[in-house]
Homo-oligomer: A and B are copies of this chain.
Amino acid sequence: MTTASNPGRLYGVGVGPGDPELLTVKAQRVLLAAPVIWVPQAGISAESYAYSIVKNIIDESRQEVVRAKFPTNDEEAAGEVWRNAARDLAAHLEAGKDVAFITEGDPMLYSTFAYVLETIQEEYPHLPVEVVPGVSSVMAAAASAAAPLVHHGQRLAILPAVYGIDDLREAIALYDTIVLMKVNRTLLDALANLERLGLAGRTIYVRRATTERERVVRNIQELSAEDLDYFSLLIIRR
């Protein structure tokens, strides 16, 4: 998979939901060997969540850690941003260095890596890429709650947001289980309405599964403002 000039390989590495023990053996191997660790970072946040998961196995005296600012919302995420990000990354690869791009959870599910990957595939198709899948926060949340997501034959919907009660009601009508990736006030109000109508099934809230700040709540009436966490999700089973 290398070209004549032997470029480095880009690894998209899922580092799992939070517990460092939920890294895969392969992710550990790749992160120990890569000369360059690429850390996507929101401009404002002090430290990357993904990096906090792996920092104990990275040796900054030996490995180059590149903290790269990435957009955190869709408005910022113009093609230009990704092309610039990909260009910096490609320069390291062209210089023959392997780069491990870390993402919390899995790289193919709601990850910044997806945009970078697609830009690299388009603009630098000669550069070898390998994706190392990881444990998603969706599975980790279900594990922490000891609540199966779907049985054989059942349908699962994963939604990043819902837009009011009708939207949610439609998903509940068609799917056995729905995972709502971010918890906000509108969503909780919509859910409370559905519960009142007897349509919401069983709802479980999980915040930061597998970390020290993990919280599992089976009665969503108990949720407070501080539970509207970026790393929280809801599992709704019909």
Contact = CB atoms under 8 A, between A and B. Distances in A.
A7 interface: no
Contacts of A175: 157
A176 to B, nearest CB: 10
A48 interface: no
Nearest to A147: B108
Given A106-B139, A109-B150, A131-B142, 17 more contacts: A22-B133, A23-B24, A107-B143, A108-B148, A109-B139, A114-B151, A121-B146, A129-B146, A131-B143, A133-B135, A134-B139, A136-B139, A152-B160, A153-B161, A155-B160, A156-B158, A157-B157
A115 interface: yes
B129 A133 contact: no
Contacts of A111: 148
Interface of A: 12, 14, 16-17, 19-26, 28-29, 73-74, 77, 106-111, 113-115, 117-118, 121, 129-136, 139-140, 142-144, 146-161, 170, 174-175, 210
A143 B108 contact: yes
A118 B22 contact: no
A160 B149 contact: no
Contact of A155 (B29, B121, B149, B158): B158
Given A134-B135, A146-B131, A24 B26 contact: no
B149 A159 contact: no
